[in-house]
């Protein structure tokens, strides 16, 4: 067939011109008649590219040489950029990052026959450095000189990271302390990684050690003695049972070794006790900005009940309780006690949390009092039509959708539209600068 793209061989060199960034962090361009995805390239680059995976769609390659570099590239602050896979976009000017996130959202929504939905320019908050309050560092092969850091892009190789400009400085200090005290830590070969949680407003630090198995009593004591006075702001040390290598935050088996199991945080006038593994925004500056946008979109009054789906420990629900007559958060059983404790800590008697099926929780909230507004934050799997129908039956007139999956965005928008809602606008939010991860706030109103 004349219009069919020709095959590219592994190892072949082609000249590519790049015009956009993709949802997985690579730059997308055309070369050899095919769309090619290449890490660390930039829109506007013309480059020689080696084909690495010709059978993928898009074809995957790596930069060999820049023939004509893009004009809007910046200087990466991180010495590990280009090897460490934690950041993908440090080489782009921050304004370009926001432009590309806007374009990603436009493309994700356009696939689902929503090309006319207004997409506002992406917004970010504050300097895009030192923002991340949650650390997840993986331990490499055990040795006397430990490897602690982040995976290389597309690899299980761990990059030994001594510093990280996107992490809160307290998390960097925590990582330095663990590395320095490594010889005094028991069961080093079983250490899977290190987690840190910082209260940005308070300076408190929570340290978690992910261990393949459980520490015995003597080992627990040794851990505490080795690290107790080595981490500035330390308020607690937690053991995390992580029998398999991989994403450390997926574990839910924790044991407190010393101190307390949460840090104090304060955002937009609300105080939080945040456990190490809790679902809570890792960028406090962006979280405060997102709260303002959500409250403005819902425009709830003291006569309204607002329901949040995917409430976690109450990050947004407590903010909604300050603006509405009643706020109801639907969370998980594992986080229910922490969410309720946060409501009590702020003296919010008009805030209720349920840990049950979301549809049943919406129905219960509607029976107690009419529900006019809702915030939906999908935690994975997309919006179920049954939930959208339940929100519509409950009387929800204004619905704010806050999602983190570009791949699920079009499907969720279609579910809202098919469930009786009219989408008004979409607003990309940059909660994770220097990465392709993009959050999206959409406003829907009942037809």
**Which of 400, 447, 442, 380 is CA-nearest to residue 419?**
447
Q: How would you classify the pairing of strands 326-330 and 34-38?
A: unpaired
pLDDT at site 1 = 43
Q: Shortest CA distance to 95 belongs to which of 121, 65, 113, 116? A: 121
Cα(249)–Cα(197) distance, rounded to whole angstroms? 12
> How far is 160 from 144, CA to CA, in rounded Å?
13
Dihedral of the alpha carbons of 316, 96, 88, 74, in degrees to the nearest 10: -130
pLDDT score for 185: 84
Is 308:317 a contact under the CB 8 Å cutoff? yes
Question: Which neighbouring-strand residues pair with 262?
Answer: 275
What pairs with residue 205 in β-bridges?
Answer: 198, 234
Residues contacting 81, CB < 8 A, separation 6+: 87, 90, 91
CA separation, residue 165 to residues 24, 25, 160, 177 (Å): 21, 19, 15, 17
Cβ–Cβ < 8 Å for 266, 280 = no
Strands 373-376 and 305-309 turn out to be: parallel
What's residue 60's pLDDT?
96
Report the predicted TM-score, pTM, of the whole model to 2 decimal places.
0.93
Contact assessment for residue 403 and residue 381, using Cβ atoms and an 8 Å cutoff: no
CA nearest to 207, candidates 260, 163, 161, 245: 260
Helix, strand, coil content of the chain in percent (nearest 5): 25, 30, 40
* 69: Cα separation from own chain's centroid: 30
Q: Which domains does the chain have, with CATH numbers?
A: 13-68 (2.40.50.140), 134-267 (2.40.50.1070), 282-446 (3.40.50.150)
Residue-level pLDDT, tens digit, the chain, 447 residues: 445 566 789 999 999 999 999 999 999 999 999 999 999 999 999 999 999 999 999 999 999 999 999 999 988 999 999 999 999 999 999 999 999 999 999 999 986 557 689 999 999 998 999 999 999 999 886 555 678 999 999 888 899 999 999 999 999 999 999 999 888 887 655 788 899 999 999 999 999 999 887 888 999 999 999 999 999 999 999 999 886 666 665 666 889 999 999 999 999 999 999 999 998 999 999 999 999 999 999 999 999 999 999 999 999 999 999 999 999 999 999 999 999 999 999 999 999 999 989 999 999 988 877 899 999 999 877 899 999 999 999 999 999 999 999 999 999 999 999 999 999 999 999 999 999 999 999 999 999
Cα separation, 200 vs 203, whole angstroms? 6
Per-residue model confidence (pLDDT) at position 144? 57
CB 335 within 8 A of CB 261: no
Please give the angle made by the CA atoms of 236, 241 and 242, to the nearest 5 degrees.
Answer: 120
- Note the pLDDT of residue 152: 92
The DSSP output letter for 432 is: S
User: Rounded to an integer, what distance in angstroms lies between the CA atom of residue 171 and that of residue 203?
Assistant: 10
Own/partner long-range contacts of 46-50 (Cβ < 8 Å, ≥24 apart): 46/15, 46/16, 46/17, 46/18, 47/15, 47/16, 47/18, 48/13, 48/14, 48/15, 48/16, 49/13, 49/14, 49/15, 49/16, 50/11, 50/12, 50/13
C-alpha span between 161 and 172 (Å, rounded): 9
Cβ 314 vs Cβ 339: under 8 Å: yes
**Strand-pair partners of 13:** 50
On the CB side of 335, CA atoms within 13 Å amount to: 23
Is cis: bond before 58, omega within 30 of 0? Answer: yes
């Amino acid at each position: 067939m004349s219009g069919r793209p020709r095959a590219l061989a592994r190892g072949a060199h082609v000249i590519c011109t790049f015009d956009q960034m993709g949802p997985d962090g690579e730059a997308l361009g055309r070369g050899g008649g095919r769309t090619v995805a290449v890490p660390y390239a930039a829109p506007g680059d013309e480059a020689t590219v080696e084909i690495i995976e010709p059978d993928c769609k898009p074809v995957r390659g790596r930069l060999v040489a820049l023939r004509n570099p893009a004009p809007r590239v910046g200087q990466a602050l991180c010495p590990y950029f280009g090897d460490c896979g934690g950041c993908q976009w440090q080489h782009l000017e921050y304004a370009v990052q926001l432009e590309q996130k806007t374009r990603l959202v436009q493309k994700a929504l356009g696939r689902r026959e929503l090309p006319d939905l207004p997409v506002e320019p992406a917004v970010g908050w504050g300097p895009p450095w030192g923002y991340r309050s949650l650390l997840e560092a993986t331990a490499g092969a055990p040795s006397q000189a430990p490897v602690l850091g982040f995976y290389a892009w597309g690899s299980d190789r761990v990059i030994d990271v001594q510093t990280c400009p996107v992490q809160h400085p307290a998390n960097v200090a925590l990582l330095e302390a663990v590395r320095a005290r490594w010889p005094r830590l028991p069961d080093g070969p079983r250490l899977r990684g290190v987690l840190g949680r910082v209260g940005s407003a308070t300076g408190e630090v929570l340290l978690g050690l992910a261990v393949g198995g459980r520490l015995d009593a003597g080992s627990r004591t040794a851990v505490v003695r080795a690290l107790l006075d080595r981490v500035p702001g330390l308020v607690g040390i937690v053991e995390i049972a992580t029998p398999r290598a991989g994403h450390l935050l997926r574990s839910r088996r924790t044991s407190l070794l010393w101190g307390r199991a949460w840090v104090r945080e304060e955002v937009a006038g609300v105080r939080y006790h945040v456990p190490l593994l809790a679902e809570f925004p890792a960028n406090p500056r962006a979280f405060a900005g997102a709260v303002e946008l959500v409250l403005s979109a819902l425009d709830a009054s003291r006569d309204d009940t607002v329901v949040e789906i995917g409430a976690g420990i109450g990050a947004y629900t407590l903010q909604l309780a300050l603006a509405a007559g009643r706020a109801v958060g639907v969370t998980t059983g594992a986080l229910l006690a922490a969410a309720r404790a946060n409501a009590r800590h702020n003296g919010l008697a008009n805030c209720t949390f349920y840990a049950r099926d979301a549809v049943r929780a919406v129905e219960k909230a509607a029976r107690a009092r009419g529900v006019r507004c809702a915030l939906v934050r999908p935690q994975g799997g997309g919006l179920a039509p049954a939930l959208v129908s339940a929100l519509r039956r409950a009387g929800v007139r204004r619905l704010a959708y806050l999602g983190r999956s570009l791949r699920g965005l079009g499907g969720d928008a279609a579910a809202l539209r098919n469930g009786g809602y009219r989408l008004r606008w979409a607003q990309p939010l940059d909660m994770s600068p220097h990465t392709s991860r993009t959050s999206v706030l959409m406003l829907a109103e009942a037809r």
